[in-house]
Amino acid sequence: MTHFKDLRSYLCALNDIGDLERITREVDGDLEPGAITRRSYETDAPAPLMENIRGNALGCRILGAPAGRSYVKTRPYARVALSLGLPATATIPEIIDTLIQTRALPGKKPVLVDADNAPCRQNILRGDDATLDSFAIPFAHDSDGGRYANTWGTLIVKSPDGQWINWSIARVMKIDCKRMTGLIVPSQHIGQIWQQWVELGQPMPYAMVQGTAPAIACASGIPLPAGVDEADYVGALWGEPIEVVKALSVDLEVPAQAEVVVEGHVSITRDAEEGPYGEYSGYLGTKSSPQPTFSVEVISHRDQPIWPLVVAGRPTDESHTLWAMGMTAEAISLMREAGLPITAAWIPEESAVHWLVVSVPNNWRELLPDTSSEELAQRIGEIVFRANSLIFIPRIYLVDDDIDPTCLKDVVWAIATRVHPERRRIVFSEERVIPLLHCYDADEYAAGKGAKIVYDTLQPPIGEGRLPHASFEQGYPAALRQQVIDHWPNATDQ
């Protein structure tokens, strides 16, 4: 595997495959970077690197869609694949298998390197000079409550006892040049660590790191078990530790190759209004919520730093590529650990992370004797719906492995022809829901409880009532199929 230790080498790799668009014309510093990034998602354009931001004294550049779907049609997940050190041609199952396999490897702790030569220390801003106004931080959407300083950066925090270091991605909105406010969800790991500092009555030290090695951003954006340090996971993925330096003002370590590092403390009360913000479900936000304040105390950065920008919305963006892959890997791992025979799974991008499709092998009845399909669906629902890391999933479709979960055409056909209008659905009526999901009523959001469902579409065993497909593969003798294939005209002959 070839891995990129910094963002710039990754951008060179994107450029080599034709998946990077350098925009040298002047771009405004308010809304245009968001609009460019959003259109790039919706047209599967190359990742836009905006190099000339109006009014930006530091020469800060903005990279849009850092892990979106690729412009190269034969390599749709090249950005995620390259980020993880895989070939640009890697498929969804290959990427998910890598995420699963890395979980089983022993982690590699980061290694401290000489801070004097670390790229992230090329420029150090303290006091009044440590201002967010020096950087190009645009609005993501026209109706957002503010400029979002963190959409693809890594937030680094540590439990008070120092035993758990969490690297994660969470949205953080700029309030002014010295303050930000971010979404701290209690069920997420950063929320659990923040609560420990709240109970101590001490503000939580943090570092917000922009422009990390792409694998660091990926690991920060996927669910890993509580207590697992994302930095150790990336070390296992790479086969060597991440190089870090000590933060300048707080007791944390940060990636040495980062583009920008912002340091400070997080308040112990929800004393600022965050939002609204357009989210991964595909709708513009209309509400704000009280969240803690992030103070800005010290900033360090590379020359002409690159600030990544993710603009969440209708599929497909990073929420529906990398995040969906991470949640799928988590779901498969949990189900297999529970002894369930899972062939594959996927969260279709078009579902905006609201569906999980799970397939099981034809012989699942032999592997789980005396188990009905309804009982299997029940067990899958209990595992997925009660995992903190998978709280975002409200619907599961359980299918036979003649359906490829990564092929939307297969999935739609299965849902249309195998979901009974009334029966064979397992309803979990009082499961946890959060406002980021977009399929519940106001009273359910207020209560934090709502229904989730598993659709059992499993067919009878082969030879016992299952109908064959009316398809080329199943509708004709093998010899005739081969004859047709042998005489099939090449594309150049058509």
d(CA 388, CA 330): 11
**Is residue 309 within a helix (H) or strand (E), and if so which, with residue range?**
strand 306-309
Name residue, tokens 């519940």: 440
User: What are the tokens at 133?
Assistant: 């106004």
d(CA 435, CA 448): 8
d(CA 54, CA 24): 11
Contacts of 278 (CB under 8 A, 6+ apart): 140, 141, 143, 144, 284, 285, 311, 312, 313
Q: Give the three-state DSSP class for 244.
A: strand
d(CA 380, CA 382): 5
d(CA 494, CA 484): 15
Contacts of 109 (CB under 8 A, 6+ apart): 229, 231, 232, 235, 241
d(CA 142, CA 84): 32
d(CA 196, CA 204): 9
Name residue, tokens 């109908």: 467
Name residue, tokens 């009878």: 460
Active-site residue among 32, 279, 349, 431? 279
d(CA 398, CA 415): 10
Q: Where are the beta strands (DSSP E) in 314-438?
A: 344-346, 355-360, 395-400, 425-432
Residue 81 phi/psi, 5-degree rounding, is -60, -50
d(CA 258, CA 300): 9
CA distances from 4 to 307, 366, 376, 388 (A): 17, 45, 42, 31
Task: Say if CB 317 and CB 44 are below 8 A apart.
Answer: no
Is 240 designated active site?
Answer: no
Q: Give the three-state DSSP class for 428.
A: strand
Q: Tell me if the bond preceding 76 is cis, omega within 30° of 0.
A: no
Task: Say if CB 144 and CB 278 are below 8 A apart.
Answer: yes
Following DSSP, what letter does each residue of 45-56 receive, concatenated?
PPEEEE--BTT-
Q: In whole angstroms, what separates CA 489 from the centre of its chain?
A: 42
Catalytic annotation, residues: 279
